[in-house]
Structure 1
């Protein structure tokens, strides 16, 4: 009897593996919020902003509330999500090339406009669509996209014509998605299903990004006593973005493909709304502080990943290798992020205890030298966060200068980084500085740079 049961058990295991091998590869939908604080969701505890669709997604997902993007600015953040590389590795560190002698020299030597030189980095880096293509995937770009046309990123379908076309700086026609309806992405889903192809969707709507012009029906919910017009319109934009996410997720249900679709959610960078004006407050977008870099990160794959609220650190650098693992695509060896799929599927702890990030000037001082624009390197280990400062041609920064001194915060007791502990814990500053040097060594200094007192490797 025991032998018979053992044989039966082995048969069932073998059958399960065969069924998994024969199952179709999952579709992948990457949902990217544009300029939204990590606090600004119902499931993250916001008392007023209504995000019922993302709240539902969080309950259905493995949700990392302590998620981060390595660079808190849209273009470099998105470049990490498409290449799986840090900004200093893929050389897309800012939104635009600055008018500097260095960039003019590169233009003279190559005969190419600095903007084209910056975009050409996408040609030499592998991207998710290009890595999925050998597995038969169709891929669709809609929303924010900086790197020329959708085709230059390897997408088979898309909306953005890209530079040098009119309005091609960061998305042109692609920026209509969500704001002007969902038909293009719905049509693509239909095409992929009709062609019996697995698909990848890059859904990066220009939401809740400015202009903050939500539909009146949504704005009315937030026009209440105590909220300034600036705050009310921003809250309504978050609500509007959530509504479009619900429409996309509902479409997957309607077409019967939701259960075999890996849905991933992350925002490109944080945003703290200025209460009196339309812009962002200090210590948010572009900064290395929590208001700029922190974001919830979610993974939903029904039947393959059990929903859970995870306490570990997670970085958007992990998104690309995790997508590739789920789809059975090749994972390039040079990718620095973790393949989280085994930890998502068996609930095993992620043993990594530190994540890293960097901040650069909005305009890139030297297209070929990331350090010329470097403003910060940062590391979070457990709940300790260290920021080191560099001069990187900052221009008009939105956050207060610190005189270049190291900043050390205990995020467990001080999640909004009010108390700098660096002078009280020099040994920890030294230790974390060494971790930064192991990750991304700074090999040159510029006049005025003040960083940690550590040796450079």
Structure 2
């Protein structure tokens, strides 16, 4: 991680006042599952309106397709291999037992302590006078550990403290805590930062009956109808939040950002997800629309460029005129979004790790996939990190190369036909983050791993 103490991000913002910032985070939703993204059945009128009012990137991405590392990347602006939060929980491995013996700490606390090292958006915004509120998903201990001045989650090590605990009531059981926070910030004349990360449309898929019945009438499998209803339920809560900002007269000076933590393709046969979605480096796992709305500052319209959730932190800090203790792999998009100019970038990188972390101090130990996107082309490589319970279609352990404009659902693997492209992009991945892990290049009955590309 490149460090630059006192790094000041350019702040070409309105001079009258500091903007409020709201991040809306969907939890387990495919990039296809919105009205504005062209879904045949799912209705999301509130997010459709937000998309119309925003600089909207249909080709947005998260760098890893699992909730905890994806959320940590958003709030720190760093890759999972930089934060060392690569999965949701420590695995019961000799490596983690050794860390516990050496430090006297539970491996869960060792993972959480990474946020003390990296810092996070609420910490940096606090220096500009912001108050901040955590609601919904949050893994890194008490909200104060991430710099939030207030929040809903108890967090580890408190009993039941994991992934949001009490905070997961937001949206599902009303919006009152969020509005109480906003009202307090407005009364105190403080700029505010809101983390709205409801447990929606995440399982359990238990939508209101009126919404379930609506989609069941479409002659869909019950599991699919429930998931579609959850997407609309989530959309309704977003509408409540945005309307609440309007009623309080703060919308004009509030930067609203939308992103999902990772994808989800609903299995028609069970309540779980289908292959090539959550935890996968394929589009169903890592692609998400990303939106930025700031009335009068950011020009609305659909953007054709690639965007990553790693752009969110530097863009927020630019809007707030705040400092950060490190450089970012993502971009400050605010100048381009203000002026409607093209974003000069054609390459994105990503990584996927096991759900349970093999070694809380060594990210590579759980590495399964890395990917690079260059323009329309995307290469996925598989690595020999500890996979745990992770299951993936065996044929997809081979290198995967796709033309995403012609083949957005990745049905046609071009790797065998374009070996030169595979080699060139594999070198790009190796240069981005050198690793000792071996990668698959051949396939027989079992994957065959070779040494890293030199």
Greater Rg over alpha carbons, structure: 1
How far did residue 419 of structure 1 move? 1.3
How far did residue 331 of structure 1 move? 4.0
Secondary structure of the 1:402 match is helix
User: Aligned pair count?
Assistant: 438
Change (3 A) 1:20 1:288: closer
Written as runs of structure 1 = structure 2, the 5 A alignment for 1:228-243 is: 228-243=221-236
- 2:434 corresponds in structure 1 to 441
- 2:7 corresponds in structure 1 to none
- 8 Å contact from structure 1 (residues 407, 422) kept in 2: yes
How far did residue 405 of structure 1 move? 2.3
Written as runs of structure 1 = structure 2, the 5 A alignment for 1:70-109 is: 70-109=63-102
TM-score scaled by length of structure 2: 0.94
- 1:300 corresponds in structure 2 to 293
Change (3 A) 1:125 1:450: farther
Written as runs of structure 1 = structure 2, the 5 A alignment for 1:379-418 is: 379-402=372-395, 404-418=397-411
**Could you give the per-residue CA deviations for residues 303-362 of structure 1, whole angstroms, max 9, x where no partner exists?**
001101001100001100000001111144421110011110111111110101000000
Q: Greater CA deviation, 21-30 or 257-266?
A: 21-30
- Indicate which of 249, 255, 259 corresponds to 1:262: 255
- 1:190 corresponds in structure 2 to 183
Specify which structure has the higher proportion of strand: 2
Change (3 A) 1:450 1:89: farther
Residues in 2 aligned to 1:370 and 1:230: alpha-carbon distance in whole angstroms: 35
How far did residue 129 of structure 1 move? 0.2
- Indicate which of 159, 163, 174 corresponds to 1:166: 159
Residues in 2 aligned to 1:49 and 1:110: alpha-carbon distance in whole angstroms: 49
- 1:36 corresponds in structure 2 to 29
Written as runs of structure 1 = structure 2, the 5 A alignment for 1:128-139 is: 128-139=121-132
Query: Is 1:455–2:453 an aligned residue pair?
Result: yes
How far did residue 451 of structure 1 move? 5.9
Residues in 2 aligned to 1:219 and 1:446: alpha-carbon distance in whole angstroms: 44
Secondary structure of the 1:188 match is helix
Residues in 1 aligned to 2:320 and 2:304: alpha-carbon distance in whole angstroms: 26
TM-score scaled by length of structure 1: 0.93
Change (3 A) 1:154 1:145: same
- 8 Å contact from structure 1 (residues 272, 285) kept in 2: yes
RMSD over aligned CA atoms reads 1.6
How far did residue 181 of structure 1 move? 0.2
- Where do 5+ consecutive residues of structure 2 fail to align? 1-11, 441-445
Residues in 1 aligned to 2:363 and 2:152: alpha-carbon distance in whole angstroms: 30
Change (3 A) 1:225 1:252: closer
Change (3 A) 1:115 1:59: same
Secondary structure of the 2:323 match is coil
Q: Greater CA deviation, 171-180 or 325-334?
A: 325-334
Q: Greater CA deviation, 76-85 or 330-339?
A: 330-339
- 1:10 corresponds in structure 2 to none
Residues in 2 aligned to 1:126 and 1:93: alpha-carbon distance in whole angstroms: 17
- 8 Å contact from structure 2 (residues 384, 449) kept in 1: no
